[in-house]
Amino acid sequence: MTRDLTALFDPQGIIVTGVSSHPGKFGFVALHNLLTAGYRGEIFAVGREAGEVLDRPVFGTIDDIPEGAADLLFICTPAAVNEQLLRAAAAKGVRAAFVAAGGYREADTDGVAAEQSLIATAGELGMLLAGPNGQGVVSTPSAMCAQIVAPYAPRGNLSLVSQSGNIVSSWLNLSNHTGVGVARSVSAGNAAQLGVIDYLEWFAEDPETKVSLAYIETIQDGRSTFERLRAISTRKPIVVVKGGASAAGARAAASHTGALASNDAIFDGMCRQAGVIRAPDPEQAFETAATLATQPLPKGNRVVVVTSAGGWGVAAVDAMARTGLDPIPLPGDLEAAIDDLLPPRWSRSNPIDTVGAETRDTLPRILELVAGHRDVDAVVLLGIGILSNTAAMMRRGQFYPDHGLERIVNFRERQDARYVQAAADIAERTGTPVLVATELADTSPETPGPATMRAAGNLCHTSAGRAIRSLDQLVRHARWRSARNS
Amino acid sequence: MSVTFSEAESRRLVAEHGVAVSSFVTGESTAAILAAMAADESLRYPVVAKLCGRRIAHKSERGLVRLGIDDQQSLRTHCDDLLAAAEPGDGDVELLVTSMARGNRELIAGLHNDPQFGLVVMLGVGGVFAEVFQDVTFRLAPITETEAEEMIGDLSAQALLGEFRGEPALHRQGLIDLLLALCEVGAAHREVASVDLNPLILVDGRPLAVDALVEVTQ
């Protein structure tokens, strides 16, 4: 049964222990991050020296905190005192603890004993326990950044869990960079009580979460993990990166099947069977999850590419050759409809090359026709940025704003913004994914195309190949889903 | 402690659950083989003769597999020869004669008891380059028909599964049934540690196991 993690992700109030005036200490940083992100509940700082830190009063003991005011305890104090803190907090109505402190199983044999004792105490008190040795928890619906590191993230519907804290940081950085926002994020640390699957189960029931992203290194009980992942996948997509995938697994060399059965091959099969989307590295995992979070699921693998210039489209179709995607021939009625919008020299095939002939509303109209066509399952839009790139050079040049430059520059910048907005609106309206790709998302993220997408929380892919790679994962997942619903 | 069944025992066990194996007869003497051959109309020349037993692990390396036997006279000679090749350490042995399956494509399928996930079922591309290409896919057993179908789709060598060198495309349902039957073996015999069907030859597109090896834990 799914454990209710509301007290961990949406607490009404938080107690932070280990707060001191030293800005390098975990307790200080946690308090700082909570205040800076604008946590909407009440914050109680607890430290050895009573006084003030960051203009907040510091309590000498949890006993002085009003009962029922907090339901999350964020622990930055050493292992030796933490069980006592759990008891004191439980007496005040606290229902969950995030133990950022280390010195447990990861440290030494004494740490192993301390960890066992810690979870026993939490169990006895009926408290949820995250960590220990984790870097924190983020929950944007509560404006909560309870972390001993940065960054925070924009609000969105992607939820993250990791057995390694720094992978969470990478994903939060990518969230900030792309604008694709996060709902919940947690570093599972040693996962002494709550494991990765416990978090994923709660995410599956969390209305703020649309897609989950997980980094897993070790699995405790293979069969039960499989059953639980499969149950979660039927509700919401999960993207997983497996750490240590290349480590040569123990091989049962007695049989041929055994010799081919590396740990990784079996893990891979388990993911396919459970409907878990597996990504080879954290970056691709983020891109795939961000695509899932911001696009409808495609109904099939038939893809049409729309581009304002030839080479980009050809490269995109080439990239599809390595996937299960099908760059279909342009349906006849679609070709006829586009014929009415473009001069005769357009490509008349997939990719649809508009040969730069579009006027103000041509591209949105073409996108609408393509995405709305019954034989098209997904659209990839390329070429965003040609207009504003040229505009940017004009704006910087010595002739601006004379010679009619101001007017054309404004028009071109507006057009790029209009195009990417149209892509998002049309995807939503038609239920057909429309992916946008341009390297400007990396090289000049301030240009209107990528900037508009980022501000709206939509992913602008940095290349056609990467958009295709993510789209392929979406198509595979959609196929898994439909094979089980029919 | 694990025991590896002889090929004959392994074949009987998997066939009992519906795994398609090439038709075969067994016998402890040449005369018994010839009588069994005469009684079984499904077995036609050319045939393959093998000497098998629980302690014989590497039949081919020891020359205990004789391929392409065209007639009764030749079969008699090979059977006598195989029996004479038995060594005292081989324990109980028997002769196995099976039809020569014709097909250019080889797959491999099996069960394996994984320490983390328990019994898993495998499908892969077989033949001499199997371990080079490692074109294999796994699922946790048992599997559904949909999952069996998805396993077939996982293989990279899809071109091998279409029409190939004058042979028809893979009979998908035949392979799905075989994978499901393989899982049945695991479900019915909890002591099974591994099963290898290697190779599975595609005969007119239908997968047929021409060797089987079952290992059980005792």
Convert the pLDDT of each residue in B158-174 to its tens digit.
999 999 989 999 999 99
Of the candidates A373, A429, A467, A476, the residue with the CA atom closest to the CA atom of residue A178: A467
Residues A27 and A172 reside in one and the same domain = yes
Question: Is residue A208 within 8 Å of residue A141, measured between CB atoms?
Answer: yes
A252 vs B: CB within 8 A? yes
Residues A49 and A73 reside in one and the same domain = yes
Residues A322 and A394 reside in one and the same domain = yes
The CATH topology of domain B23-99 is: Dna Ligase; domain 1 (3.30.1490)
- Per-residue pLDDT, B124: 96
Tokens of A350: 């997939």
In one letter, which amino acid is A456? A
Residues A275 and A308 reside in one and the same domain = no
Q: Which of A223, A261, A272 is the closest to B150 by Cβ?
A: A272
In a domain, A434, yes or no: yes
- Per-residue pLDDT, A255: 45
Tally helices (H) and strands (E) across chain A: 18, 20
- Per-residue pLDDT, A486: 59
Q: Which residue in B has a C-alpha nearest to residue A268's C-alpha? A: B138
Task: Let me know how long chain B is.
Answer: 218
- How many domains in chain A? 2
- Interface residue of A220, A234, A257, A267 to substitute, partner B, most B CBs within 10 Å: A257
| Cis peptide upstream of residue B199 (ω within 30 degrees of 0) | yes
Whole-number Cα distances in Å, B210 to A162, A341, B99: 46, 62, 9
ipTM over 0.90: yes
Rounded to 10°, the helix A282-294/A165-178 angle is 50
- Per-residue pLDDT, A261: 61
Q: Which residue in A has a C-alpha nearest to residue B147's C-alpha? A: A273
| Integer Cα distance of A209 and B172 in angstroms | 39
In a domain, A1, yes or no: no
For residues B79-97, give the mean pLDDT: 94
Residues A54 and A132 reside in one and the same domain = yes
In a domain, A257, yes or no: yes
Paired strand residues for B50? B65, B96
- Per-residue pLDDT, A388: 87
Pairwise CB contact (< 8 Å): A484 & B138: no
Tokens of A468: 């295709």
In a domain, A224, yes or no: yes
Distance of CA A22 to the CA centre of its chain: 33
CATH at residue A67 = 3.40.50.261
- Per-residue pLDDT, A45: 98
Residues A438 and A399 reside in one and the same domain = yes
Residue numbers in A near B130 (CB within 8 A): 256, 260
Distance of CA B188 to the CA centre of its chain: 19
Per-residue pLDDT of chain A in tens (486 residues, 90 and over written 9): 789 999 999 999 999 999 999 999 999 999 999 999 999 999 999 999 889 999 999 999 999 999 999 999 999 999 999 999 999 999 999 999 999 999 999 989 999 999 999 999 999 999 999 999 999 999 999 999 999 999 999 999 999 999 988 999 999 999 999 999 999 999 999 999 999 999 999 999 999 999 999 999 888 889 999 999 999 999 999 999 998 766 543 343 334 555 566 788 999 999 999 999 999 999 999 999 999 999 999 999 999 999 987 788 999 999 999 899 999 999 999 999 999 999 998 989 999 998 776 777 899 999 999 999 999 999 999 999 888 889 999 999 999 999 999 999 999 999 999 999 999 999 999 999 999 999 999 999 999 999 999 999 999 999 999 999 999 999 999 999 999 985
Q: Number of A:B CB contacts under 8 A?
A: 92
Q: How far is B140 from chain A (nearest CA, A)?
A: 6
| Integer Cα distance of A52 and A59 in angstroms | 9
Which of A222-226, A258-262, B151-155, B209-213 has the lowest average pLDDT? A258-262
Paired strand residues for A43? A14
Host domain of residue A266: 6-292
Pairwise CB contact (< 8 Å): B108 & A257: yes
Paired strand residues for B206? B203
Pairwise CB contact (< 8 Å): A269 & B120: yes
DSSP code, position B172: H
Tokens of A372: 């709305």
Question: In the listed set A243, A264, A292, which residue is the last one of a domain according to the structure?
Answer: A292
- The domain limits of chain B are 23-99, 106-217
List A residues 18-77 in contact with B (Cβ-Cβ < 8 A): none
A54: left (phi over 0), alpha (psi -120 to 50) or beta: left
Residues A357 and A315 reside in one and the same domain = yes
- Per-residue pLDDT, A315: 92
Q: Which residue in A has a C-alpha nearest to residue B146's C-alpha? A: A483
Residue numbers in A near B113 (CB within 8 A): 252
Residue numbers in B near A480 (CB within 8 A): 150
Question: In the listed set A275, A292, A309, which residue is the last one of a domain according to the structure?
Answer: A292
Residues A329 and A285 reside in one and the same domain = no
The CATH topology of domain B106-217 is: D-amino Acid Aminotransferase; Chain A, domain 1 (3.30.470)
- Interface residue of B4, B60, B122, B195 to substitute, partner A, most A CBs within 10 Å: B122
Residues A169 and A33 reside in one and the same domain = yes
Q: Which of B118, B131, B138 is the closest to A222 by Cβ?
A: B118
User: Over chain A, what HEC string results?
Assistant: CCCCCHHHHCCCEEEEECCCCCCCCHHHHHHHHHHHHCCCCEEEEECCCCEEECCEEEECCHHHCCCCCCCEEEECCCHHHHHHHHHHHHHCCCCEEEECCCCCCCCCHHHHHHHHHHHHHHHHHCCEEECCCCCEEEEHHHCEEEECCCCCCCEEEEEEEECCHHHHHHHHHHHHHHCCCEEEEEECCCCCCCCHHHHHHHHHHCCCCCEEEEEECCCCCHHHHHHHHHHHHHHCCEEEEECCCCCCCCCCCCCHHHHHCCHHHHHHHHHHHHCCEEECCHHHHHHHHHHHHHCCCCCCCEEEEEECCHHHHHHHHHHHCCCCCEECCCCHHHHHHHHCCCCCCCCCCCCEECCCCCCCCHHHHHHHHHHCCCCCCEEEEECCCHHHHHHHHHHHCCCCCCCCHHHHHHHHHHHHHHHHHHHHHHHHHHCCCEEEECCHHHHCCCCHHHHHHHHCCCCEECCHHHHHHHHHHHHHHHHHHHHHHC
Residues 6+ apart with CB under 8 A from B120: A261, A266, A269, B111, B112, B113, B114, B138, B139, B140, B141
Residues A449 and A470 reside in one and the same domain = yes
- Per-residue pLDDT, B4: 92
Residues A328 and A280 reside in one and the same domain = no
In a domain, A206, yes or no: yes
Residues A277 and A309 reside in one and the same domain = no
- Containing B43, the helix (H) or strand (E) segment is none
